[in-house]
Amino acid sequence: MSLTEKEKTVVRDFFGKIVARSDDIGTESLTRLLVVYPQTKSYFDHWKETTPYSAPVRKHGINVMGGIYEAVGKLDDLKGGLLTLSELHAFMLRVDPVNFKLFTNCILVVLSMLFPEDFTPQVHLAVDKFMALLALALAEKYR
Amino acid sequence: MVEWSDFERSTILDIFANMDYDVVGPKALARCLVVYPWTQRYFGNFGNLYNAAAIMGNPMVANHGKVVLHGLDRAVKNMDNIKATYAELSVLHSEKLHVDPDNFRLLADCLSIVVAAQMGTAFTADVQAAFQKFLAVVVSSLGRQYH
């Protein structure tokens, strides 16, 4: 399941449209991941706190969104373009890939919540595919 | 048995009490058919599902969306025994309709997204957690009688 050229345009356009709220989206998505799927907190033992909207959550949410926007800029070759990020996740972070799906669920809910008119079923489809491909690219170096 | 906190119980009751079934049902099912096109396999006799616009405007899809959403009412009224409540429906989906149970999860995901759009910021992280927990129990119960 790869992105069609039309879907790539949809993804670029949508993410371009919402870039001003990128920090909020990242914070909100990560907050929800930690609340809705509490087992994900296991990756953040080293943080002072994992409470919703707290400073470490906000900082990291913004960080993750930065990665997502980097991927939006590399839609024509996600695997190649995200090699370094993949190595980071594979050898250092070792985040179980099942969590990419959980995070995707959270970000889709946030996008739907904040942009109910723009997050149409067609946009949802393209973004869902993009997130799935992004997760695959991140898992590329795992084994 | 599933344990529900007071917050979870009242959240679920609230969401369904304020739900516009005629809007949310059709939107959720249509979204599922668009975002996960392989789910269209169960709706061969629904007429035109050729593209997103056709799906979203299809009256049979809209109608069936309402039916499915009202199907959740039973779980809302019997939150302490959703598994037993859906035993018969589970058998129906398995033996008569032959629906792969993973589809229940896909539709549940789309329902969360539609409800999030309807509720806006009122769909807080805690509300999302409660709603998704409820849907997960429903999904599990509907798949329970498959063999």
- C-alpha dist (Å) from residue B5 to A142, B125, B130: 39, 15, 9
- Supply A49's token pair: 């706190």
- C-alpha dist (Å) from residue A110 to B44, B66, B128, B145: 33, 24, 10, 34
Residue B1 pLDDT exceeds 90: no
Q: What burial class does residue A8 get, using C-beta atoms within 10 Å of its C-beta: 0-12 exposed, 13-18 middle, 19+ buried?
A: middle
* pLDDT (0 to 100) of residue B111: 98
- Could you read off the pLDDT of B56-97 as tens digits, one per residue? 999 999 999 999 999 999 999 999 999 999 999 999 999 999
Mean pLDDT score, A81-105: 94
Residue A41 pLDDT exceeds 90: yes
Residue B40 pLDDT exceeds 90: yes
Q: What's the rounded Cα separation, in Å, for the pair B39 and B144?
A: 20
Please report which confidence band the pLDDT of residue A2 belongs to, taking 50, 70 and 90 as the band edges.
very high
Residue by residue, DSSP assigns B50-91 as SSHHHHHH-HHHHHHHHHHHHHTHHHHHTGGGHHHHTHHHHH
Mean pLDDT score, A87-111: 95
Contact call for A122 and B116, based on CB within 8 A: no
Nearest CA in chain A to B121: A113
- Global pTM reads 0.92
Contact call for B128 and A119, based on CB within 8 A: no
Q: Which residues of B touch A122 (CB under 8 A)?
A: 34, 52
Tell me how close the Cα of B138 comes to any Cα of chain A, in angstroms. Answer: 17
Q: What's the rounded Cα separation, in Å, for the pair A111 and B113?
A: 9
Q: Which of B34, B52, B113 faces A109 most closely, judged by CB atoms?
A: B113
Query: Taking the mean position of all CA atoms in its chain, how far away is CA A75?
Result: 14
Contact call for A124 and B120, based on CB within 8 A: no
Q: What's the rounded Cα separation, in Å, for the pair B13 and A141?
A: 45
Is A54 part of the contact surface with chain B (CB cutoff 8 Å)? no
* pLDDT (0 to 100) of residue A57: 98
Q: Which residues of B touch A118 (CB under 8 A)?
A: none
Mean pLDDT score, B43-51: 95
Q: Which of B55, B121, B129 faces A35 most closely, judged by CB atoms?
A: B129
User: Which H helix or E strand runs over A137?
Assistant: helix A121-139
DSSP state of A77: -
Q: Which of B56, B116, B126 faces A112 most closely, judged by CB atoms?
A: B116
Nearest CA in chain A to B35: A125
Average pLDDT of every residue of chain B: 96
- Supply A96's token pair: 């179980």
Please report which confidence band the pLDDT of residue A48 belongs to, taking 50, 70 and 90 as the band edges.
very high
Nearest CA in chain A to B109: A105
Is A109 part of the contact surface with chain B (CB cutoff 8 Å)? yes
| Distance in Å from the first CA to the final CA of chain B | 21
Please report, rounded to a whole number, the percentage of residues in chain A having pLDDT higher than 90. Answer: 99
Is A122 part of the contact surface with chain B (CB cutoff 8 Å)? yes
Please report which confidence band the pLDDT of residue B144 belongs to, taking 50, 70 and 90 as the band edges.
very high
- Could you read off the pLDDT of A12-40 as tens digits, one per residue? 999 999 999 999 999 999 999 999 999 99
- C-alpha dist (Å) from residue A102 to A98, A105, B78, B97: 7, 5, 28, 29
Q: Which residues of A touch B116 (CB under 8 A)?
A: 109-110, 112-113
